[in-house]
């Protein structure tokens, strides 16, 4: 194989591929698969056995080839080289030579056949929607995903697709985020059947997908689905992942809907007060747990208090309040994440007792949003 390419352009192309480079006793998992054919663009692929990325790169192909090259070594080598034009050669002995100007680097390669088999990148079932809408939805719920829960289904985000509607949910048993949105879903099912899909995408995949999706109303992402995988086509990239198998929790059953205490607050003012309290609640003190935030509704005043051995904070702001007064405590970081996920200027907070979960909802008079953020309280020391 012998190819010539632009160094800076190739660095930018390789960068998003690195998220799917794994560490494994299988050497090819740490590599970029390079497929070169005369008259065609290079095809570059990484796959860590859970998720993968494929894209194309402009190059002049002098000799065809199909080889694996260590991703990090290739990326770092291209970054430190001088010059714009780079020549990469792999010989029959799997010796790789990378040269630009007077600089030359050598490393070993693997045969392309050693690369792990990737799933089919286009299936008979799928749909298309706005890239920015999917990105915003992921941004609202991703903070509530579990990281290492024994119930695998919680270590990701649940999506339910119906014609004209997308629901996304994440829950780690302490907090829950639910987002429902009307979407212009373009049916890509080859048989023309209605869109009725439910699937769970792993948390690592969700986080990478959020970073990679274009925040552009004019851009669409096409999603193909199979029994075990999801494939996302967008912005010249193909991003594919295994999905988590299993039945997601009955999240509707755990959300209380009959709260008697209601408060409306300005989102920015509430968030600013919570961030000020975080100076105390986020401080790590040896031998002690994270300080909870006390959340007290007294009339039309919300009082926020935090105390630790290192200091204390107090803040208050005006709210619209109906129902009884209440004193309740929360993990402040969870509360900040839930309030920040609301995309409106005002938020609605629904409560019952100091031991019951609360609901936080965005308030928009012109849009009956079904977004909801559920949070369990923490017990206060007497």
Mean pLDDT, residues 77-98? 94
What is the Cα–Cα distance from 258 to 292, expressed in whole angstroms? 26
DSSP codes, 194-236: --EEEEEEEHHHHHHHHHHS---TT-EEEEEE-SSEEEEEETT
More confident of the two residues 37 and 291 = 37
Q: What is the pLDDT of residue 286?
A: 43
pLDDT at 288 over 60: no
DSSP codes, 84-152: SEEEEEE-TT-EEEEEETTEEEEEEEEEGGGSPPPPPSS-S-EEEEEHHHHHHHHHHHGGG--SS-SSG
pLDDT at 24 over 90: no
| pLDDT grade for 281, boundaries at 50, 70 and 90 | confident
What are the sequence ranges of the domains in the chain?
2-114, 126-251, 255-375
Domain 126-251: assigned CATH number: 3.10.150.10
pLDDT digits (tens, 9 = 90+) for 336-362: 999 999 989 999 999 999 999 999 999
Q: What is the pLDDT of residue 367?
A: 61
Q: What is the pLDDT of residue 323?
A: 95
* Mean pLDDT computed over every residue of the chain: 92
CATH number for 255-375 (one of 3.40.50.300, 3.10.150.10, 2.40.50.100, 3.30.460.80): it is: 3.10.150.10
Strand partners, 261: 351
pLDDT at 284 over 80: no
CB 325 within 8 A of CB 335: no
pLDDT at 85 over 70: yes
pLDDT at 368 over 70: no
Q: What is the pLDDT of residue 287?
A: 46
**What sign does the CA torsion over 286, 303, 363, 178 have?**
positive
Q: What is the pLDDT of residue 289?
A: 60
pLDDT at 331 over 60: yes
Distances in Å between the Cα of 221 and the Cα atoms of 151, 164, 241, 352 are: 30, 16, 15, 41
DSSP codes, 35-87: EE-TTS-EEEEEE-SSEEEEEEE--EEEE-EEEEEEHHHHHHHHHH--SSEEE
Distances in Å between the Cα of 308 and the Cα atoms of 5, 176, 273, 278, 305 are: 58, 27, 17, 12, 10
Mean pLDDT, residues 275-281? 90
Strand partners, 222: 128, 233
Burial class of residue 354 (count of CB atoms within 10 Å of its CB; 0-12, 13-18, 19+): middle
pLDDT at 309 over 80: no
Mean pLDDT, residues 90-112? 93
Mean pLDDT, residues 240-253? 95
| Cβ neighbours, 10 Å, residue 22 | 18
Q: What is the pLDDT of residue 283?
A: 67
More confident of the two residues 291 and 161 = 161
pLDDT at 73 over 90: yes
Q: What is the pLDDT of residue 320?
A: 96
Distances in Å between the Cα of 354 and the Cα atoms of 283, 308, 337, 375 are: 24, 20, 20, 12
Q: What is the pLDDT of residue 365?
A: 64
Name the pTM for this structure. 0.91
| pLDDT grade for 163, boundaries at 50, 70 and 90 | confident
Mean pLDDT, residues 84-111? 94
CATH number for 2-114 (one of 3.40.50.620, 1.10.10.10, 3.10.150.10, 3.40.1210.10): it is: 3.10.150.10
Nearest-5° Cα angle at 317, 311 to 319? 140
Query: What is the Cβ-side half-sphere exposure of residue 185, based on CA atoms within 13 angstroms?
Result: 23
For residue 246, give the 3-state DSSP assignment.
coil
């Amino acid at each position: 194989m012998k190819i010539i390419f632009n160094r800076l352009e190739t660095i930018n192309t390789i960068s998003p591929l690195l998220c799917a480079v794994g560490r494994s006793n299988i050497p090819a998992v740490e590599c970029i698969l390079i497929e070169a054919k005369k008259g065609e663009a290079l095809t570059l692929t990484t796959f860590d056995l859970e998720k993968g990325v494929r894209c194309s790169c402009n190059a002049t192909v002098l000799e065809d080839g199909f080889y694996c090259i260590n991703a990090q070594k290739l990326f770092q080598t291209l970054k430190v080289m001088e010059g714009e034009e780079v020549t990469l050669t792999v010989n029959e002995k799997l010796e790789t030579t990378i040269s630009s100007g007077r600089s030359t680097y050598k490393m070993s390669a693997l045969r392309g056949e050693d690369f792990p088999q990737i799933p089919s990148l286009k299936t008979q079932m799928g749909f298309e929607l706005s890239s920015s809408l999917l990105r915003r939805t992921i941004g609202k719920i991703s903070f509530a995903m579990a990281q290492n829960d024994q119930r695998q289904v919680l270590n990701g985000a649940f999506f339910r697709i119906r014609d004209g509607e997308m629901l996304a949910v994440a829950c780690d048993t302490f907090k829950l985020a639910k987002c429902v949105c009307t979407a212009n879903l373009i049916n890509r099912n080859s048989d023309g059947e209605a869109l009725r899909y439910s699937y769970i995408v792993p948390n690592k995949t969700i986080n990478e997908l959020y970073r990679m999706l274009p925040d552009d109303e004019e851009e669409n992402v096409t999603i193909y689905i199979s029994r075990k995988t999801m494939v996302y086509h967008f912005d010249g990239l193909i991003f594919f992942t295994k999905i988590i198998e299993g039945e997601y929790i009955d999240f509707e059953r755990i959300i209380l809907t009959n709260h008697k205490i209601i408060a409306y607050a300005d989102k920015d003012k509430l968030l600013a007060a919570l961030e000020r309290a975080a100076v105390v609640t986020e401080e790590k003190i040896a031998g002690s747990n994270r300080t909870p935030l006390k959340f007290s509704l007294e009339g039309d005043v919300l009082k926020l208090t935090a105390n630790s051995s290192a200091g204390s904070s107090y803040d208050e702001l005006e709210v619209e309040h109906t129902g009884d007064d209440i004193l309740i405590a929360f993990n402040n970081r969870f509360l900040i994440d839930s309030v920040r996920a609301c995309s409106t200027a005002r938020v609605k907070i629904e409560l019952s007792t100091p031991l019951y979960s609360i609901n936080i909802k965005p308030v928009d008079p012109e849009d009956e949003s079904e977004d909801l953020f559920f949070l369990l309280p923490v017990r206060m020391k007497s």
